[in-house]
Amino acid sequence: MIASPNTTPMTEGKEKVPDFTRLTDLAAARLGGQTLVCSDDFFAPMENLLKEGRGIFIADKYTDHGKWMDGWESRRKRTPGHDWCILQLGASGVIRGVDIDTNHFLGNHPPQASLEGIRHEGEITELEASSWTSLLPKVPLEAGSHNFFEISDPGRWTHLKLNIYPDGGVARLKVYGEVFKNWDQVGPDEVVDLAAALNGGRAILCNDMFFSHMNNLILPGKGLNMGDGWETKRNRTPGNKDWVILKLGAPGVIEKIVVDTHHFKGNYPDTCSLDACYSPHDLLTAEDLATAPWTEIITPQKLEAHREHTFEPAVKNPFNYVRLNIYPDGGVSRLRIWGRVAKTDHS
């Protein structure tokens, strides 16, 4: 039996943005998510659903089909039924919440939507005929808004089907959850990026991300541009230190650390250092993280513009949290924490 989800949209502004938005967007195109097939995308292609951001609006931009829109938009339905889109998650996992974002869709948003899921390894032709599990019943959508909904089903999913009733446009679909990684398939001597989003790593907390989000640090591949990294604002306080904390996908012995300032040329940090700790319990609050047993594993090291910096820590204890400190401020494109999974009692 599936527990009933919260079917009242939780919108930004007057109401608090839900905590699940701190989790990984499992459907993000940057993580490998892709739309596979839809019933109709006459006005705007389904691929837009999984792009970054919320979508933009260009007042005077039109296509041969009509107004250009940054989202997925079907034509006005004149027959019975509803429109739908099937997508493959970039990483399978447990879904904790979704945002069906109708940003800029005002007179053309769907009044209602629902979401179904499946765990499936076959071809798309098989997927279309497969049995789907309801994750979110038909719920109302607000126009031009975030529409946040909690998902209570504990299953692990690989594909989703977004249904809209009867037609219309959705700017973005964000699917927040926890990446599944089968660590039993990783050998004891295999070195993997323990912090990578695809391996279940997560950015937990930072003191500043004025220009770009901390989650970018652990995305796959090289940064695309200066906005595709973690960048703090200019800080004028003498002796300032900015920091970001990551939870590793699994506890591990860290062999190598890569701090990549790719694209950051006039705004890279002067210096960085790294701390690590192990906790069998989740460290979720600022107080938890402040009182954690941190160990400095990389002393302050000078950084350079637009290059990868590799460090090898001497400490060989198992850790499951790392803290990157940058002095005094600036931007880092990617952070890689290469190590071996520690087969501890808590792993």
Tens digit of each residue's pLDDT (9 = 90 or more) over 131-188: 899 999 999 999 999 999 999 999 999 999 999 999 999 999 999 999 999 999 999 9
Any idea what DSSP says for residue 288?
H
**Residue 166 preceded by cis peptide, ω within 30:** yes
Q: What is the pLDDT of residue 15?
A: 55
What's the structural domain count of the chain?
Answer: 2
Token duo for residue 182: 């089968």
One domain for residues 214 and 232: yes
One domain for residues 145 and 229: no
pTM above 0.85, yes or no: yes
Rounded to whole angstroms, the Cα distance separating 233 from 235 reads 6
Q: Which residue, of 164, 179, 194, is where some domain finishes?
A: 179
DSSP secondary structure string for all residues of 219-276: SSSS-SSTTSSEEPPP--STT--EEEEEEEEEEEEEEEEEEE-TT-SSS--SEEEEEE
Q: What is the pLDDT of residue 121?
A: 81
One domain for residues 122 and 210: no
One domain for residues 234 and 281: yes
In this structure, is residue 249 part of a structural domain? yes
Quick count: other Cβ atoms within 10 Å of Cβ 302?
A: 10
One domain for residues 207 and 103: no
One domain for residues 222 and 81: no
Strands 331-332, 230-231: pairing is antiparallel
Q: Which residue, of 153, 179, 205, is where some domain finishes?
A: 179
In this structure, is residue 14 part of a structural domain? no
One domain for residues 56 and 203: no
- Parent domain of 299: 183-341
* pLDDT, the chain, mean: 92
Q: Which residue, of 145, 179, 213, is where some domain finishes?
A: 179
Question: Position 99: which residue type?
Answer: D
One domain for residues 197 and 335: yes
CATH code assigned at 153: 2.60.120.260
Query: Pick from 177, 162, 145, 150: which is nearest to 72 by CA?
Result: 162
In this structure, is residue 1 part of a structural domain? no
One domain for residues 88 and 205: no
In this structure, is residue 3 part of a structural domain? no
Q: CB of 94 within 8 A of CB of 85?
A: no
One domain for residues 210 and 137: no
- With a cut of 70, list the residues of the chain below it in pLDDT: 1-15, 344-347
In this structure, is residue 2 part of a structural domain? no
One domain for residues 29 and 119: yes
Q: What is the pLDDT of residue 255?
A: 97
One domain for residues 65 and 213: no
In this structure, is residue 264 part of a structural domain? yes
Q: What is the pLDDT of residue 344?
A: 59
* Main-chain dihedrals φ then ψ at residue 12, nearest 5 degrees: -70, 160
Q: What is the pLDDT of residue 134?
A: 97
